[in-house]
A and B are shown apart, each in its own frame.
Chain A
Amino acid sequence: MIDFELTEQEKASVEKAHEIAEKHFRPISRYYDEQEHQEPQELIDLMWSKRGEGGLMGLGIDGALRTEELCWGDAGLALAMPGPGLGGAAVFAAGTKEQWGKFLARFNEGKPKWGAMAMTEPGCGSDTAAITATAVRDGDDWILNGEKIFVTFGHRALDLSEGIVVVWASVDKSAGRAGMKSFVVEAGTPGCRVEKLEKKLGIRASDTATVVFENCRIPFGNILGKAEVKAKTEGFKGAMATFDATRPIVAAMALGVMRAALDMLRDVIDKEGIKIRYNAPRNRQTALEHDFMEMEANYKAARLLTIRAVWMMQNGLPNALESSMAKAKAGRAATLITQRAVELMGPLGYSREYLFEKFMRDAKINDIFEGTGQINTLIVARRVLGFTREQLK
């Protein structure tokens, strides 16, 4: 039965996340944007203390909606909060029960910790099959070598906490995609260091690190999934399966940023005494009404595509197509909405006294990370046409 009603539990969860976002994220939003790379320690401690209450981001409809709310508060800060993150998601998706215990239990105890995912390299982004980092078997160990860039949480996971980084590396370059495997590296492992923190256009409260692996020795059991290289591309499929789960969550982050801009713009319009007439036909709408309705409709479109992708995953339905649809749409909508909000606000939109310009900078990353809008559009196109990657490059 087609239904858009949230459960009572989901409603309460969203409400709580919104309260946290409004009370604890939004007031310090500008400060940590301007003070890039400074730790929002109080907020980190607060959120860590609330981790059992379902306050953090997560997978599933509940998690996606909480993600939207927290990113409504501040997307950069939301991406600075401790938790298993993308690294944890990979362990959860591809690891054994023992590995869950070994690598994920830490996210429930002690001091704040972060989990990161290291995939992108200086020479490859979306083309993850071109990864050059290597993992070589040496007795009971693996030895990792390579350089990873744009690692979200890298610094916090490795330098500021006893976190983990999930690293993608090839165990057999001649096997191409089939040789791609993921490995868990724990903080404090010799041969692994953070070399650089990126300075970025937006989401400045979030750390984006370059991590270098030099003869980094990890136990054999830290590989996620099987060590054997098969003719089939199982390892790579593991990475892609992770994306099916995480792309809608990134789309949910975009939703938070676009709604932040929309809500703020609506407040301004309301104060000016302007009402948006949703029943006015196109030929009777003012330019502002037309723009605002287009923005709001794009937000709704992105939101429903996102919730559908998450709902499918929750119900065990294959959602690769729908995940990419949601991600492509949400990235594009966030970019459109936040840029239009700056435009409509005129000089006030451009001023750093207000948050509109920050929303615009923060929004842009959503059309880039976890697969750019273009790579996601390409995935959608292949599915629509029924073409392989060789047929549609």
Chain B
Amino acid sequence: MISFSPSEEQQMVVNTVKQFATDVMRKQYRECDESGAIPAEIIDTAWELGLVVSCIPEEHGGAGWEHSAVTGALLAEELAWGDLAMALHILTPWLAILPIVEMGSEAQKKKYLPPLCGGGFAAATAALAEPRYNFDPGALETTARKNGGYVLTGSKCLVPLADGASFTLVYAREGKVNQCFIVDKGAGGLAVGGKEKNMGVRALATYGIELKDCKVPADNKLGGDKGCDFARLDNLSRVALAAMAVGVARGALEFSRDYARDRHTFGEPIGSRQAIAFMLADMAIEIDAARLMNWEAAWKLDRKEDATREAGLAKAYADSMVMMCTDYAVQVMGGHGYVRDNPVELWFRNGRGFTAFNGMAIV
């Protein structure tokens, strides 16, 4: 039966994250963007909420909550509303955890999940994007050659927290299919480059990595011999990023709306003029539309159905939506939107990133 109401548990998760986003993330996002680093306390506090490892089965040290892409989308929206760089950082372990929980072999779960359930934030990550013109996640150029174990060759970029990660899931093409390989920290042939400099999400540490004949044991192919369902992981990533786009756009709408109410010109608030008011209305409509489309894609994924069409449309729509909204927010505020005293220029830079962030988040 059609319903647009989150469940009580989902609402609790949303409330918890919203509180954290308001009290912690929103207080420090600007300094983090300027300094290019996120204080460890913020990440630790987020980790203590327990949301990230909750979906790990109890026998492997987690809380054993049933994983839900809808819940993940709700949570990701709130985190991204707080700050996108922090949201991506906080959820980076999911890039490693969720594929293993859902598609890993028993041996892989046993080996890789429990160490993540210890005390503090445990960095593990994934590498999908490649630093080249016309990159396409469906046609990776990083290759995996079977040779007893596997030999990985290729370049990756936009790998969050690669430097400190205890292991990295590397996506590579084996024959004609994309597969995923668990590469341990310090593996031979794996070289993590310097921290990347990006237009937005400057507080998030992302790295390029090089794989030069990087040898991986045969057991480390995600899912064992049968491999993984890359299309599903790709779709779960689209849903995560679209949800974050909605969060960023919502922040932009709220801030520029408040400004349009307060800022007076010629004796009345600029929000009293349709030229401004209509921009805000369009933002509100498109944000809701993108959120609902993304919920539908997530809902389909929770039912274990193929959602390539829904997730593809939701992501493409959210990509355009967040750019429009963050641009409008800057425009509504004029020069005040352009200066770094106000957050909208930061959101504008972050908004542009979504078309490049393939595989940088997953729910």
Q: Which residues of A contact B (CB under 8 A)?
A: 1-7, 10, 61, 277-284, 293-294, 296-298, 300-302, 304-305, 307-308, 311-312, 322, 325, 328-329, 377-378, 380-382, 384-387, 391-393
Stretch at the interface among B119-127, B146-154, B285-293, B342-350: B285-293
Q: Are A301 and B6 in contact (CB under 8 A)?
A: no
Contacts of B286 in A (CB 8 A): 301
Contact of B136 among A281, A325, A393 (CB under 8 A): A281
Give Cα A8–Cα B5 distance, bound, in whole angstroms: 20
Q: What distance in Å separates the Cβ of B101 from its nearest Cβ neighbour in chain A?
A: 22
**Shortest distance from the beta carbon of B52 to any chain A beta carbon, whole Å:** 22
Interchain CB contact under 8 A, B312 and A279: yes
**Contact assessment for A282 and B289 in the assembled complex, using a CB-CB cutoff below 8 Å:** no
Please provide the 10 A-B residue pairs with the shortest distance between their CB atoms, ordered closest to farther.
Answer: A278-B312, A301-B289, A381-B277, A304-B292, A381-B281, A380-B281, A297-B317, A297-B313, A3-B3, A278-B309
Q: How many residues of B contact A (CB 8 A)?
A: 55
Q: Are A4 and B316 in contact (CB under 8 A)?
A: no
Min CB distance, A266 to chain B, in Å?
12
- When A279-B231, A301-B290 are in contact, do A2 and B299 touch as well, CB less than 8 Å? yes
15 example contacts (A-B, Cβ-Cβ < 8 A) are as follows: A1-B6, A3-B1, A279-B137, A280-B138, A284-B136, A293-B312, A296-B313, A297-B316, A305-B289, A325-B285, A329-B289, A378-B277, A380-B285, A384-B257, A392-B272
B231 touches A381 (CB 8 A): no
CA distance A277 to B317 in the complex (A): 15
A281 to B138, CA, bound (A): 9
- Contact bitstring B187-230, A, C-beta under 8 A = 1, else 0: 00000000000000000000000000000000000000000000
Query: In the complex, which residues of chain A have a beta carbon less than 8 angstroms from the beta carbon of B70?
Result: 2
Contacts of B266 in A (CB 8 A): none
When distances are taken between beta carbons in the complex, the residues of chain A under 8 Å from B277 are 378, 381-382, 384-385, 387, 392
Q: Say if the beta carbon of B28 comes within 8 Å of chain A.
A: no
Cα separation A304 to B297 with both chains bound (whole Å): 12
Q: How far, in angstroms, from A61 to B289 measured CA to CA in the complex? A: 18
Bound Cα distance from A329 to B313, whole angstroms: 17
- Do residues B280 and A2 form an inter-chain contact, with CB atoms below 8 A? no
**Measured between C-beta atoms, what is the minimum distance from B233 to chain A in Å?**
12
- Residues B259-297 near A (CB distance < 8 A): 260-261, 269, 271-272, 274, 277-278, 280-282, 284-286, 288-290, 292-293, 295-296
Q: State whether the Cβ of B7 lies closer than 8 Å to any Cβ in chain A.
A: yes
Chain B, residue nearest A307 (CB): B2
- A104 to B69 Cα, complex, angstroms: 47
Closest to B10 in A: A2
What residue of chain A has the Cβ atom nearest to residue B296's Cβ? A4
- Give 1 or 0 for each of B223-245: 1 = CB within 8 Å of chain A CB: 00000000100110000000000
Q: What's the minimum C-beta distance from B251 to chain A, rounded to whole angstroms?
A: 14
A61 partner residues in chain B, CB cutoff 8 A = 2
A296 to B3, CA, bound (A): 22
Contacts of B141 in A (CB 8 A): none
Instruction: Please report the C-alpha to C-alpha distance between residue A32 and residue B293 in the assembled complex, in whole angstroms.
Output: 36
Residue of A nearest to B309 (CB): A278
Given A283-B355, A311-B3, A382-B277; 6 other pairs, CB 8 A cutoff? A5-B1, A281-B358, A296-B313, A329-B285, A377-B282, A385-B257
Residue in chain A with minimal CB distance to B9: A1
Judge whether B138 and A279 touch: CB under 8 Å. yes
Contact B292 A308, beta carbon cutoff 8 Å:
yes
B65 within 8 A of A: no
Contact across chains for A278 and B296 when beta carbons are under 8 A apart: no
Q: Which residues of A contact B292 (CB under 8 A)?
A: 301, 304-305, 308
Judged by a CB distance under 8 angstroms, whether B134 is at the interface is yes
Contacts of A5 in B (CB 8 A): 1-2
What residues of chain B lie closer than 8 Å to A392, measured between beta carbons? 271-272, 274, 277
Q: Cβ of B288 and Cβ of A2 under 8 Å apart?
A: no
Given A4-B296, A384-B257: A304 and B5 within 8 A (CB)? no
Residues in B whose Cβ lies below 8 Å from that of A384: 253, 257, 277, 280-281, 284
Question: Is B319 located at the chain interface by the 8 A CB criterion?
Answer: yes
Shortest C-beta distance, B246 to chain A (Å), equals 12
